[in-house]
Amino acid sequence: MPRKVLKLGFIGGGLNSAVGNTHRISSQLDNRFILEAGCFSRNYDINHATAVEYGIDPDKVYDNWRNMLKQEKNNLDAVCILTPTSNHSEMVIEALHLGYGVICEKAMAATYNDAVHICEAVNHNKGFLAVTYNYTGYPMLRELKKS
């Protein structure tokens, strides 16, 4: 039986970000996810240029991340939070309250209190939260681990 392809939304990860396109490419390497929607940038031009570059339907591009979460609630399986760390807490908690699985770029939170609130939201909603640690795959880190 073929596996279901999971529909993914991005908050952040615009063309002007350091790793947005890398997250897009890596999320689709194993054909388990497809990027369906996004609010890639607060900047209108960057947001929409990113959607064009990533091949996102214009109807699935949002100028406000909260609107995306509300509008895509029954369409997306998970959201990736790819914004600066200081924004993570609010976005992660909102997504968890709406029932999304959340994949958050490291670091999960900017402060201890933010981390506590995120953990409370995970527990309260019986939610799914994963934090990516991209640098663990860097060859230099693997070499350092050996020494």
Q: What percent of the chain has pLDDT over 70?
A: 90
DSSP string, 24-37: HHHHTTTSSEEEEE
Which DSSP helix (H) or strand (E) runs through 47? helix 44-54
pLDDT per residue over 17-42, tens digit each? 888 888 888 888 888 999 999 999 99
Query: Rounded CA gap, 139 and 102, in Å?
Result: 27
- Specify the residue for token string 């663990």: 136
pLDDT of the residue at 5: 92
| Domain layout of the chain by residue ranges | 6-146
Distance from the Cα of residue 30 to its chain's centroid? 17
The pTM score is 0.88
The pLDDT assigned to 60 comes to 98
84-106 pLDDT tens trace: 989 999 999 999 999 999 999 88
Which pLDDT value is given to residue 144? 67
6-146 CATH pick, 3.40.50.300, 3.40.50.720, 3.20.19.10, 3.30.70.990:
3.40.50.720
Helix 112-125, helix 85-97: angle, nearest 10: 20
Query: What dihedral do alpha carbons 114, 118, 119, 125 form, nearest 10°?
Result: 160
